[in-house]
Every structure is written in structure tokens, then in C-alpha cells.
Amino acid sequence: MKQAASFFKVLADEARLKMLWLLFNQKELCVCDFMAVLEITQSKASRHLRTLYKAGLVTDRRAGQWGYYSLRPAEDFLTRECLETLRTAFTSNAEAVGLLKKLAVWLEKKSEAGCR
Amino acid sequence: MKQAASFFKVLADEARLKMLWLLFNQKELCVCDFMAVLEITQSKASRHLRTLYKAGLVTDRRAGQWGYYSLRPAEDFLTRECLETLRTAFTSNAEAVGLLKKLAVWLEKKSEAGCR
DNA sequence: TCTGAACAACCGGTTATGCGAATGTACACC
DNA sequence: GGTGTACATTCGCATAACCGGTTGTTCAGA
């Protein structure tokens, strides 16, 4: 039960919820994507991603100086179900939908700039 | 999304999870029941119940000097689904099952003592 | 080899949360 | 009216979490 409590503790932060939501809808994102879309500092982005990583919810992949994060399929029942519920709930949430639009615009601009 | 974060914040405590679990399996419980079964101080029990109350997850009913708490049906999708998932997860959790046994013993002893 | 980009990790400061102990309140019984 | 029970609330303190700014670290390209 302690385990369940610490899982919910990880979800108990708006920035981390938004990060998970972005990853629900985009396979891979790097730190600078989170910074741009969520309008947060690099230090904040990195710290929260670390928290998600330590909780086993995301994986990271280094490619040169870039770090890509993606969702990690949950092996635990509670984790899997709650994340799925979260995803469903956010799908009909205006703020969440707005974030996705912002993400799309950002990714578009990024690829236009050719900096992929 | 802020709302979702604060909901998870409420769940992010072992004592509160245990309280919810007990209420899943027993319609109504008073503060002293939580104290006895979870082996916590009165102040701790009261405080966490207050938190659950303010989050809208439980209701209270005063009867004389006794205060009874019970689950409050969730009107929100996220809340309802997560609690249901939690219930399912705990059903096959040894610690949680042990708590229920402890609760049964306590309620038995309490009614034997005639203090209803 | 130097510079700059992308990130991670540390630093101190602030805020939030949790705790037991003590106190307050409301009622029940004598 | 006094005592005891069942709570709720407040208090001071300790710990944990979050924050922005700064300082590594690693790598790519000139």
C-alpha cells in the first residue's frame, strides 16, 4: 500500500501530469519540447522527468547530446489502469486538448527550422 | 489538470489509502475505528479524515458525540474510475486483506463490549 | 582545441505536509 | 454541575517537495 501511495505521489503534480499527457500523444519528446510547450524552465523540466523516470513511468534514450523520453508500458495493474483512466479523462479536457495543439505547433516550427 | 493533480495529492498518503480501503468494505466507521485498526493517534486519524472530506471523497454524519464517516459516490469520471481501480488492486493485496481481518476482529470486540 | 547546445545535478530558499501534544467542544451519564 | 468520552482544531516543529539560478558534463561542429 506504501507503493500505491508513492505512485500517486508521482501523479500529484500538475507539471508531471502534463508531461505524461504529452507522452500519451507523442511517442518521443526531448527536454526542450517540454520546456517550450509547458513554458517551464529547463531545470524544472529535467527534475520532473527524473521523477517520472525514477518511478518507472518513462524511459530515456540518449542520442548525441539529445535526451529523448517516452512512455514505458506499465507492468503493474494499478499503474496501467490509472494512466489509462487519466488519458481518457484528459481527452475531453479543454486545457489538455489545448496543450496538444500547442505541441503540434511547436513540433511544426521545430521541423521547419530544420533543427530536428 | 490542476484539479486532477490535487485529487492525486489526496491519494498520495498511505494512511488515507487505508482509510478509503476500509470504507470500501464497511459502510460506516467512526474515528475510533480507524485509530484502532490502523494503530494511529486520534489527531492523525481526524486530520486525514478531514482531508478526505474536503476532497469530497467521504461524508460525515454526527450522532451524539460520535462521528461516522462513509464513502461518498464520486460524480467525477477520474475519481470514480481511480477509486474503483484502487479497490480492485487492493483486493489482491496481502496487507490490505490483513487490514480487513483486523477490522473484523475489532468490530467484533467492540460489539461484544456492548458499546455499539 | 575551443565554443556552444542540450541536458543533468547541485544549492539555498520558500512553501507545503505531516506529526504528536495540548487544548477546545459537544454531549452523555451520574 | 462535574466527570468522562469522542472527537475536532490549533500549535510548534520537523521533514519533504518544489522552485529558479548556477554549475557541471557530454558531445557536435568549427
Q: Digits of tens for pLDDT over chain A (116 positions)?
A: 999 999 999 999 999 999 999 999 999 999 999 999 999 999 999 999 999 999 999 999 987 778 899 999 999 999 999 999 999 999 999 999 999 999 999 999 887 764 44
Cβ contact, residue pair B11, A12, below 8 Å: yes
End-to-end CA distance of chain A: give it in Å, rounded.
Answer: 43
Nearest chain A residue to B99 by CA distance is A1
Give which of B82, B90, B89, B58 is closest to B7, Cα–Cα: B82
Q: Choosing among B8, B20, B24, which should be mutated to test the A contact, i.e. which has the most A CBs within 10 A?
A: B8
C1' of D16 to CA of B49 (Å): 21
What local confidence, expressed as pLDDT, does residue A63 receive? 79
pLDDT at B113: 60
pLDDT digits (tens, 9 = 90+) for B19-44: 999 999 999 999 999 999 999 999 99
The CATH label, of 3.40.718.10, 1.10.10.10, 3.100.10.20, 3.40.50.720, for the domain at A2-108 is: 1.10.10.10
For residues B101 and B85, the answer to whether their CB atoms sit within 8 Å is no
pLDDT in tens, B50-99: 999 999 999 998 777 788 999 999 999 999 999 999 999 999 999 999 99
Q: Are strands B58-63 and B66-71 parallel, antiparallel or unpaired?
A: antiparallel
| Dihedral, A25, A54, B4, B21 alpha carbons, nearest 10 | 130
* CATH architecture observed for domain B2-107: Orthogonal Bundle (1.10)
Q: Name the maximum alpha-carbon separation found in chain B.
A: 48
pLDDT of residue A39: 96
Model confidence pTM above 0.85: yes
- Using a CB-CB distance cutoff of 8 angstroms, which residues of chain A are in contact with residue B8? 8-9, 11-12, 17
* Chain B residue with Cα closest to A18: B1
Q: How many contacts (CB atoms, under 8 Å) link A and B?
A: 80
Q: Are A40 and A34 within 8 A, CB to CB? A: yes
